[in-house]
Structure 1
Amino acid sequence: MYKKLWTWIGVSQLLVLLFSIIFYKRIDFLSYTNVSFIIGSILILSSMLGYVMKGRFFDVVFYSFQHVFSRMTDRDRRPLSELVPQKYYLPFITGVVTILLMLCSLFFYKSL
């Protein structure tokens, strides 16, 4: 678990640096802060969406759409919570770490 977590964190930080170079043509505290906020927010929001979908919140709506718009039998219908992947902890923890690193860089940027 910890090896996967460090891999996710490393890849997210590499993406932050890569997108800083692509969009800002430099790596400084401001570009790192902006890009890491966006990447961290995307990771946190996508993991929260997976958590809500896994919590059977949308199962009734999904079932009714399957009933109205498809020719499936009752045996073939599956709720949305069974179709969503189980792994939403790693993106959430990675997003939180990215946001924390963003806050640290923002603190250093403001203190300069």
Structure 2
Amino acid sequence: MYFAADHTTRPAVTAAITEAAAVGLNVCRTWAFNDVGHCALQIKPFSYDEVAFQALDFVISEARKQKMRLLLSLCNNWEDYGAKAQYVRWGKEAGLDLILLL
């Protein structure tokens, strides 16, 4: 998704998916998350970046062309990408009493 958001690196997405399919990969896990910084899908609660979603759509489309199924990871533990901690921060900002359990 990150590479697909930039039109100069988008061909790398197509190439990687095509090469993977050529050697028999038919299921792949890919990121469908990022809640901070460049290419964030969700900028703040209920506020989304259309360009980031178009990039994710491109990845899904390229996989489909190769008859590849994708497992979309919707969250992670790496704070560089927001992660569960970002959702806890947003919840606390909204006045919720939350803790992060790892």
Instruction: Normalising by structure 2, report the TM-score.
Output: 0.30
Larger radius of gyration: 1
Q: TM-score, normalised by structure 1?
A: 0.28
